[in-house]
Amino acid sequence: MPDRDPSERKSLDAAEIGAIAHLYRGEVYRSTVWRTRLDTTTNWAVVTLGVALSISFTSPGTSPIPLILVGILIFFFLMLEARRYRYFNVWRARCRWMEIHFFAPMLGNGDLHLEEGWQQRLADDYLHPHYHVSLWVALGRRIRRNYFWILLIQTIAYVGKLIVHPEPITELAQIPERAAIGLVPGSYVLALGGIYCATWGAVAVWSWRDDVRRAATRRAPSSMG
């Protein structure tokens, strides 16, 4: 008996269709749980930034150092969220794959096109589970969708603190003087801050370009990853 072509669509009986329906419900549940975990780390980043803002702007004489130290926590939360996003993206991609190739044709009028071998591709993803996006792509996506605004507020608050406290500056040369931390010159601190922001900006732009490239080469709009 000849082997079945892997690209050929398998005819499913009622029991198998019911099993896929339960499978889809399970994948939706898992994606929902991991989506909630993404919101949790974002909330932590927002709360810690709020605490740093409150401390730094308590009085004109308060140091702006909390606004720098909170960047370490934001970095930690961003890395943790990117890791969680890679898990979430697996469940989301599987759900979307079944929606387009299984449920949509079932509900449509028969004119919907199915990607050849979609069942085998889904089966392979279960047999050999793997992340669909790299850590750098995940980092860039989280920056573009959430952390850009957190980093922007942190940067504006830090620069604003240097400008207005302990009293409004009268010339730009005062900014590096106020940015100094102990024996570390203010120019070095500002340079490191610029590298910090530029690095995350570069990651965001690179991941966006990678997403555009992946979308252009994708055979179907099913977003498997």
Average pLDDT on 19-45 reads: 92
Q: 19 lies in a domain? A: yes
Q: 213 lies in a domain? A: yes
pLDDT reported for residue 100: 84
Q: Give the model confidence (pLDDT) of 159-192 as tens digits.
A: 999 999 888 888 888 888 888 888 889 899 999 9
Q: 157 lies in a domain? A: yes
* Residue 210 CB partners (closer than 8 Å, separation 6+): 137, 140
pLDDT reported for residue 15: 85
Confidence category of residue 109, pLDDT binned at 50, 70, 90: low
pLDDT of residue 206 exceeding 70, the answer is: yes
Q: 96 lies in a domain? A: yes
pLDDT reported for residue 1: 42
Domains held by the chain: number:
1
Confidence category of residue 113, pLDDT binned at 50, 70, 90: low
Q: 4 lies in a domain? A: no
pLDDT reported for residue 14: 82
pLDDT of residue 6 exceeding 80, the answer is: no
Average pLDDT on 14-28 reads: 88
- 87: nearest Cα among 43, 126, 131, 123: 131
Q: 223 lies in a domain? A: no
Between CA 30 and CA 213 the distance in angstroms is: 28
pLDDT reported for residue 168: 86
Q: 5 lies in a domain? A: no
Matching residue, tokens 């850590």:
135
Q: 2 lies in a domain? A: no
Neighbouring CB atoms inside 10 A of 111's CB total: 6
Average pLDDT on 90-99 reads: 90
Between CA 28 and CA 22 the distance in angstroms is: 10
Confidence category of residue 87, pLDDT binned at 50, 70, 90: very high
pLDDT of residue 3 exceeding 60, the answer is: no
Mean pLDDT across the chain, nearest whole number? 86
* Residue 156, beta-bridge partner list: none
Task: Print the domain residue range for 90.
Answer: 14-217
Average pLDDT on 96-102 reads: 86
